[in-house]
Structure 1
Amino acid sequence: MKDFVNKLYRNHALIYKALLFICATVLIVYLFPKSGKFKYNFERGKPWQSENLYAPFNFAVKKTDEEIKQEKQTLTQNSILYFKVDKAVETSVKNAFKTQFKNAFPDSIPALDLDNLYTSGKIIIEELYQFGILNEDYNFPDNKIVALLENRVEKDKVLFSNLVKQDQVVSVIENVLSNQQLLQYKKNFVSLFFDLIEPNLVFDKSTTDKVLQEEFSKIAYARGRVEKETLIISKGEVIGGNKYQILKSLQSEYESQVWAKSSYYWILFAYTLLVALALLMLLLFLRKYRPDVFENNTKVTFIFFNILLMVFITTLVVNYNLKYIYVVPICILPLVLKAFFDARLGLFVHVITVLLLGFVVSNSYEYMFLQIIAGIVTILTVSELYKRVNLFISVGQITLIYIVAYFAFFVIHEGTIETLKWETFIWFILCGLATLFVQPLIYVYEKLFGLVSDVSLLELSDTNSKLLKALSNKVPGTFHHSLNVANLAEASANEIGANAMLVRVGALYHDIGKMKNPAYFTENQSTGINPHDELSATESAKIITNHVIDGIEIARKNNLPDRVIDFIRTHHGTSLVYYFYKKEKEQSKEVETSDFSYPGPKPFSKETAILMMCDSVEAASKSLKEPSSSKIEAFVENIINKQIEEGQFLNANITFKEIQSIKKVLKHKLANIYHLRIEYPE
């Protein structure tokens, strides 16, 4: 039992990856559609490539979306508008007219004329309220049919043009008075009715919409039927018009039919196999080409989490409305992975994710082509994500690629641009804007997963930061040495294509441990007194080697990322403090090399190997007397060759060719630093 537990413990990282793999597969399959996929691929205007297709069962031929839309437009145009009529308003106006009529006309008017005026007023009210007065100006066509509702009961149907708008009241008054030859009293009537007339018609939107929806529900979504064993299309026949719609109807019916329990489980099993295969390819890629990432469970979890997130968001959008599918910023995935890892890994994960999403979306080939091309453009264009302008330029290029590729696909499918849906381009622009969210997302990921991006490295390289300020104040000599090493390391990294930003930051912080005992390091001794004179060689060596341990402690207290701490741990590897080792050996023949060796480990990446070379060369270069080109070349060769002989770079993935390139850079840089000057006369 104990052996079994020990075996589990030794393989806990592999077991964790297996569980992560299983959980990711199950979650992705759970998000997938649970119906079958139509086994034929076809496009409008292209020949049918498969064998003759006969109807496998009876099915209805569905109308196209355009046909349904046209029917709905026709129903909307012919729909009836419903208005509520308030009869109490007309009664109220008539009563008010009786009481206020005499006040509107002077007593000097003859009685006969007054009778005619009173009669004309009643006629005006009858005209105005024959069908009613609108409470506001509605923008409906004059030929629309209107149903008048009184207490929710339909009383009459008229044309909308028969209803009186409020600005038409004066014209009605004029029309009645001209017929009665009483136009000279127009002002009196206008003044009288200005206060009396009130609208009595209100648009009943809820009833109008309800009736329209009832009409919509009566629409037949099918136009014909295909019987079982009927020939649908022959091999080589061009797919177009009605044939295309029949095939789309068969595909829809095939994918939406109710599956038997056995079929359902077979489909689920098949989906699981395909998803597991895709994720397995990703793990194999990491194991073969990115072993450092594969061994780090946090990084593997981070990659799987991002894949799951993209599948989840895409599935949500597809379930809500498929037309918004291109708003999902899939290109955030390669951007994020490139920021934390490298371009090759970012592109590989992006392709795997897009292949998985092909099961979720319709027109999967078109979708996958667009997303893979956009991902490639993302990887090729974004070189330095911490520079904001680069991100904006890249987002612009991604959006342009989306638009161009979609336009090309649309023309291929439709053969014309007349029916092009320009609103789709707006979705691509929104997708580009959503991609800008990558910056805050990277910050969140850094905090959640403890990863380091170039943006964080840029912040850490600021010499005004708290820790580097303390380094420059407490140990100015060490700080100056670190700056020189940073410049040499950055130039070397650029020469061989390593991460220049990472190695620069590592160089700036690699000697922070010297802040604990600054006087014991020669670059900080300004008084001429050397405290090592009072110590034994063993004690001195211990103080010197301890600056690595002290540096790690200081780094952890200041929350420096592990990638930066790696430079502190490895910048001396397992090399000897040779000066004190030799001094001790002169006094005693039996010397333990472990007492004079740095704790290690040896450098395990190109960047940490570069720092080790640059640190040793820069520190030792201070001892050069009367430097010349030949001396500098021999000096650099000796130091780095000695490190190679000691096997310091065996764990680093650095080649001899790259080491030669680094030597060349160091020689050139040191030659510039120690260039000879002519003596100027005093």
Structure 2
Amino acid sequence: MGKTLDNVYKHQSLAYKYFLYFVSVGLIVFFFPKGGKFKYEFQKGKPWQYENLYAPIDFSIKKTEDEIANEKQSLSDNKIDYYTFDASIQEKAKATIQKELKAFFGQSNYSASQQNEVLNIGLEVIDSIYALGVFQNKPTTSSILLIKNNEARPLGSGNYIDLPKAKKEISNILSQSNIPAKEILRTTLFKAVEANVFYDEAITEKALEEELSKISFTRGDVSEGRFIIAKGEVVEAENFKILNSLKEEYESELWGGNNYYYIILGYTILVALVLVMLFLFLKRYRSEIFKNNNKVTFIFVNILLMVFATTLMVKNNDSYVYVVPLCILPLILKNFFDARLGLFVHVLTVLILGFVVPNSFEYIFLQIIAGIVTILTASELYKRANLFISVGQITLIYIIGYFAFHIIHEGNFESIEWVLFGVFILNGLLTLFAQPLIYIYEKIFGLVSDVSLLELSDTNSKLLKELSDKAPGTFHHSLQVANLAEAAANEIGANAMLVRVGALYHDIGKMNNPTFFTENQITSVNPHDDLPPKESAKIIIDHVIEGIEIARKNKLPDRIIDFLRTHHGTTTVFYFYKKQQGIEENVDQKAFQYPGPIPFSKETAILMMSDAVEAASKSLKNPTYLIIDEFVEKIIRGQMQANQFLNANITLKEIEVIKKVLKQKLTNIYHLRVEYPE
């Protein structure tokens, strides 16, 4: 029955991985922009590496965005201003003159002929002034169209007057005549004259929009079969524009019709291959992660998030594709797992994105270099300064890489897009979001980061304070074991902080019955003296189970609980086992064994060795170098003979290094000195 359940679980786990794999492939292909891929890769300033290229289809040469922007700016700068003419203003001015002069002449002694002469001169001046119109505001351009009688006609730069110029013209005309009441007529004309030509913004803007709509986005056509570029020829400005136009036209045609399904199939195969590589890597080199569906899901979720963010940016504005903080991926994976896995997943993700981003070679190169820098520089992220320093170096790599590629493509510094520096800085700022993201992932996936381990290692935490109060001897023992285990882990390259935290909490189960453990007994009274060996052994063994219950109640991470479960493995409570043998002959050894499991990692194996050595060292009397050496060898040899390290990925060489560290530390603890001759 047990084997059947194991097989069901194994198949269930494998089925979930298949499901995760196919869903991930489907989602990534779905995220991809809907377009084919041009079969040639080319860069400005680099030789054409393929055979002579002839146009495979008819296509138009597209103008660049800069060329279109320059044309629009030129039209805006040279736009024609439209002005409207109001004929009623002239008639209104004449009526005003007649009214004003009539009122004046009614109180004067001028004859009828003189009055008519003054009036006629005034009307003639008005007709002369309004011949072309009086402008409300002096035009600022020479391109002017005057709309008069529903007809627009151009005016030269000197063919218009504004109100001040009109009054000046009136004074000049009157100064050359000898009519009576000249000053009265001038005052009347100044009062009557008004602007009758007005700038029409609505018509002007509408005309400009019409001109802008006529701008062509292409400049010439290339017919099928025309020679484009020869093998080895350098891709220069003109050829670069033609090749880009062919690429856009080719990809748009490729995506249409039945080709759609073939392109989907091609993308699916390539993405599937990449993700197969990830599974193979995990299965061969990270088997403990491969077996854990939670961790596999975590890795795939991160890949999908990066692919989704990048493809979304490509669809909206591919100029800002570097805003996506792709280096968060190796940062997070290194924090939870290891550097090699973080870099491997980062490279695979970049390869996937290389299918859809513009300038794929440049993108892949920069992102892989930035990922390597991330792996090499990001360490001890629980120290805030380290994250800022690492992000600064990543940003610098992006900027330097952009400079290098720009020089290669353009051969100068003149057309540098300074806005990209802001993009790289924004990328760095978003990379800092790795810290809160780590916290979120811990809560969602139940993982443990160095930041959490640092918090758990605080001896002022609630649980450790309780252990210190209830079982001070056990607390002191845990501190000693933590120091030994941490030193050993550092020597063999294991996770020293994880080992230390595991050591601090590994005996919390002793809080329930502290006096039954010798390190907490402050008198000569031993409660085990009044108990049978089996019951005493059960109390000792139960501290593992009770410790797990306390840990779960206090929400300790599973990785820490693993240390509680494995720190005694399946060893025997030897003292009480021998004591029971003195009472009866046939003793069931299983009743005196810890439930296990045995250690299944370097870190849990280190804790088992350190715990056993530190606990047993209390029995040493007058220790010497030789005694300590034999003592450590005996303890660890016994654990190896009991097959306690079969499931731990630890080598004999590493065990020898650990023994050496433990001997050295015990020598320091007991303050051994060299014996000088008398």
Aligned partner of 1:16 in structure 2 is 16
1:516 aligns with 2:512: yes
Deviations 1:607-636 (A, max 9, x none): 001111111111111111112222222211
Choose the corresponding residue for 1:431, options 427, 432, 437. Answer: 427
Check conservation: 1:146, 1:157, Cα contact below 8 A.
Answer: yes
Choose the corresponding residue for 2:418, options 416, 422, 437. Answer: 422
Q: How does 1:311-350 map to 2 (within 5 A)?
A: 311-350=307-346
1:658 aligns with 2:662: no
Q: What's the secondary structure of 2:258's corresponding residue? A: helix
User: Which region of structure 1 is more displaced relative to structure 2, 657-666 or 271-280?
Assistant: 657-666
Following superposition, the deviation at residue 437 of structure 1 comes to 0.4
Q: How does 1:568-579 map to 2 (within 5 A)?
A: 568-579=564-575
Aligned partner of 1:622 in structure 2 is 618
Following superposition, the deviation at residue 46 of structure 1 comes to 2.5
Q: What's the secondary structure of 1:11's corresponding residue? A: helix
Following superposition, the deviation at residue 44 of structure 1 comes to 2.0
Greater C-alpha Rg = 2
Following superposition, the deviation at residue 216 of structure 1 comes to 2.5
Q: What's the secondary structure of 2:381's corresponding residue? A: coil
1:268 aligns with 2:264: yes
User: What letter is aligned with 2:298?
Assistant: F
Aligned partners of 2:538, 2:171: CA distance in 1, in Å?
Answer: 119
Aligned partner of 2:548 in structure 1 is 552
Taking structure 1 as reference, are residues 87 and 423 closer, same or farther at Cα in structure 2, changes over 3 Å only? farther
Deviations 1:451-483 (A, max 9, x none): 111111111111111111111111111111111
Taking structure 1 as reference, are residues 632 and 218 closer, same or farther at Cα in structure 2, changes over 3 Å only? same
Check conservation: 1:142, 1:159, Cα contact below 8 A.
Answer: no
Q: How does 1:391-402 map to 2 (within 5 A)?
A: 391-402=387-398
1:224 aligns with 2:228: no
Following superposition, the deviation at residue 85 of structure 1 comes to 11
Q: What's the secondary structure of 1:44's corresponding residue? A: coil
Taking structure 1 as reference, are residues 213 and 302 closer, same or farther at Cα in structure 2, changes over 3 Å only? farther
User: What letter is aligned with 1:413?
Assistant: H
1:355 aligns with 2:351: yes
Q: How does 1:425-574 map to 2 (within 5 A)?
A: 425-574=421-570
Q: What's the secondary structure of 1:362's corresponding residue? A: coil
Check conservation: 2:573, 2:592, Cα contact below 8 A.
Answer: yes
User: What letter is aligned with 1:40?
Assistant: Y
Following superposition, the deviation at residue 237 of structure 1 comes to 2.3
User: What letter is aligned with 2:418?
Assistant: W
Taking structure 1 as reference, are residues 172 and 265 closer, same or farther at Cα in structure 2, changes over 3 Å only? same
Check conservation: 1:381, 1:394, Cα contact below 8 A.
Answer: yes
Check conservation: 2:24, 2:304, Cα contact below 8 A.
Answer: yes
Following superposition, the deviation at residue 214 of structure 1 comes to 3.3
Instruction: Work out the number of aligned pairs and report it.
Output: 630
Aligned partners of 2:569, 2:4: CA distance in 1, in Å?
Answer: 36
Aligned partners of 1:387, 1:356: CA distance in 2, in Å?
Answer: 32
1:143 aligns with 2:147: no
User: What letter is aligned with 1:240?
Assistant: E
1:132 aligns with 2:136: yes
Deviations 1:102-133 (A, max 9, x none): xxxxxxxxxxxxxxxxx9xxx9xx99x94336
Aligned partners of 2:605, 2:403: CA distance in 1, in Å?
Answer: 49
User: What letter is aligned with 2:526?
Assistant: N
Structure 2 alignment gaps of length 5 or more: 96-121, 176-186
Following superposition, the deviation at residue 661 of structure 1 comes to 1.1
Aligned partner of 1:26 in structure 2 is 26
Following superposition, the deviation at residue 156 of structure 1 comes to 9.3
Check conservation: 2:485, 2:606, Cα contact below 8 A.
Answer: yes
Q: How does 1:42-61 map to 2 (within 5 A)?
A: 42-61=42-61
Check conservation: 2:576, 2:592, Cα contact below 8 A.
Answer: yes
Following superposition, the deviation at residue 4 of structure 1 comes to 11
Q: How does 1:631-670 map to 2 (within 5 A)?
A: 631-670=627-666
Following superposition, the deviation at residue 663 of structure 1 comes to 1.2
Following superposition, the deviation at residue 159 of structure 1 comes to 10
Aligned partners of 1:602, 1:452: CA distance in 2, in Å?
Answer: 21
TM-score normalised to structure 2 length: 0.84
Following superposition, the deviation at residue 527 of structure 1 comes to 2.6
Aligned partner of 1:40 in structure 2 is 40
Check conservation: 2:255, 2:263, Cα contact below 8 A.
Answer: no
User: What letter is aligned with 2:141?
Assistant: N
TM-score normalised to structure 1 length: 0.84
Deviations 1:496-552 (A, max 9, x none): 110011111101110111111111111111132211111100000000000000000
Taking structure 1 as reference, are residues 214 and 332 closer, same or farther at Cα in structure 2, changes over 3 Å only? farther
Deviations 1:76-99 (A, max 9, x none): 21235679999999999xx9xxxx
Aligned partners of 2:631, 2:639: CA distance in 1, in Å?
Answer: 13
User: What letter is aligned with 2:136?
Assistant: G
Aligned partners of 2:238, 2:481: CA distance in 1, in Å?
Answer: 73
Check conservation: 2:36, 2:254, Cα contact below 8 A.
Answer: no
Choose the corresponding residue for 1:215, options 188, 211, 216. Answer: 211
Aligned partners of 1:207, 1:338: CA distance in 2, in Å?
Answer: 63
Aligned partners of 1:161, 1:610: CA distance in 2, in Å?
Answer: 97
Following superposition, the deviation at residue 243 of structure 1 comes to 2.0
Aligned partners of 2:45, 2:424: CA distance in 1, in Å?
Answer: 26
Taking structure 1 as reference, are residues 149 and 583 closer, same or farther at Cα in structure 2, changes over 3 Å only? farther
